[in-house]
Every structure is written in structure tokens, then in C-alpha cells.
């Protein structure tokens, strides 16, 4: 029996051969279903449902529902998917702007400068009070002292008197 070419509309988008990214075109023992890769697919099921155009009646296909095809599935017709919800336009976060790294660098520099000035002011205000600042150094004045006569004590002889 000559093998007829199958149209992509009749082939289940989830039927794959091992190590292949496109849908399988013929039934085989090496074929598997992307929705249940651990389940063996008999050739009869592949011929009747997966390749025969009745894949919409398959329970695994029905459970997939209106969810979109996975990104790795190629060569299949797209399924009807509900329209997506409108996306809200979000503001760009402040740190994602092009000027943010420069502004952050300057804020860090200004913050460190302010911290240095504050610590310097605190240090100057809390200096120890016993440190004396001398405005001048006194010069010693040397004057001659007057001659003072030396007085000697009388030598004592014997015991002191009672």
C-alpha cells in the first residue's frame, strides 16, 4: 500500500519521535506523546487518533485544553487560545534609568563628605578641656640674690635640759 502524505492539520501536534522536534508523520515504536512522555503509544492508537485526524478526541489532548503549545513544539498548527488580558503600561523603575548610576555615585560621594565633616565637627567640639593652649612662652628672668649671712646652730653638748 503506497504511503500517502499527511497534511499537518491531520497530525497531532504532540506526537514526536525520540530526539526529533517536528511531529511524527508515521506510526512507530519510537514515537511518544509530549503530554505524557512516559506512556507507550500503541501503533493502533497512533494510526487512529494521532495521525488519523481524530486527535481532538484524545483525553490527553482534551486535558491540554486551550492552553498554548509549549515553546519547544514546532511544526504544528496553533490552537485556539483565549485572548490575553490587556497589559498595563508600567513605569520604568528609577534605578533602570540611564542617569541612575551617575546619580547614585554622586549621592555616595556627598554622603561620605557630609559624614566626614560631621565627624570632624564632633571631634573639634569634644576636645579635652585640660589641654591648655599657651599663647606665649615665658622667658626666665635671672636676678642676683642678696647675700644672706649664714647662721649656725650652737653645738649641743650633753643631754638636753629637762
**Of all helices (H) and strands (E), which one includes residue 32?**
strand 31-33
b/e sequence 30-52, b meaning 16+ C-beta within 10 Å: ebbbbbeeeeebeeebbebbbbb
| Residue 143: per-residue pLDDT | 80
**Cell, residue 25:** 508523520
- Model confidence pLDDT, tens digit, residues 127-154: 766 666 667 777 778 887 778 777 776 6
Are residues 13 and 71 in contact, defined by beta-carbon separation less than 8 angstroms? no
pLDDT in tens, the chain (162 residues): 444 555 666 778 778 787 776 777 788 888 878 777 667 788 888 888 888 888 788 887 787 776 766 666 555 544 444 556 677 888 888 888 899 999 999 999 999 999 999 999 888 888 766 666 667 777 778 887 778 777 776 666 766 665
pLDDT score of 8: 65
Query: pTM value?
Result: 0.39
Looking at residue 104, its pLDDT comes to 93
Look at residue 1 in the predicted model and tell me its pLDDT.
Answer: 40
CA distance 121 to 125: 6
Amino acid at each position: 500500500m503506497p504511503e500517502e502524505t499527511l497534511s499537518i492539520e491531520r497530525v497531532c501536534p504532540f506526537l514526536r519521535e525520540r530526539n526529533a522536534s517536528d511531529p511524527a508523520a508515521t506510526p512507530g515504536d519510537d514515537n511518544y506523546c509530549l503530554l505524557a512522555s512516559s506512556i507507550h503509544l500503541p501503533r493502533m492508537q497512533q494510526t487512529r487518533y494521532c495521525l488519523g485526524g481524530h486527535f481532538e478526541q484524545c483525553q490527553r489532548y482534551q486535558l491540554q485544553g486551550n492552553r498554548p503549545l509549549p515553546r519547544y513544539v514546532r511544526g504544528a498548527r496553533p490552537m485556539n487560545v483565549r485572548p490575553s488580558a490587556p497589559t498595563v503600561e508600567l513605569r520604568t523603575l528609577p534605578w533602570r534609568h540611564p542617569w541612575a548610576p551617575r546619580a547614585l555615585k554622586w549621592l555616595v560621594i556627598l554622603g561620605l563628605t557630609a559624614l566626614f565633616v560631621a565627624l570632624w565637627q564632633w571631634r573639634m567640639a569634644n576636645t579635652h578641656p585640660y589641654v591648655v593652649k599657651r599663647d606665649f612662652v615665658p622667658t626666665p628672668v635671672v636676678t642676683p640674690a642678696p647675700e644672706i649671712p649664714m647662721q649656725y646652730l650652737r653645738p649641743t653638748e650633753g643631754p638636753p635640759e629637762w
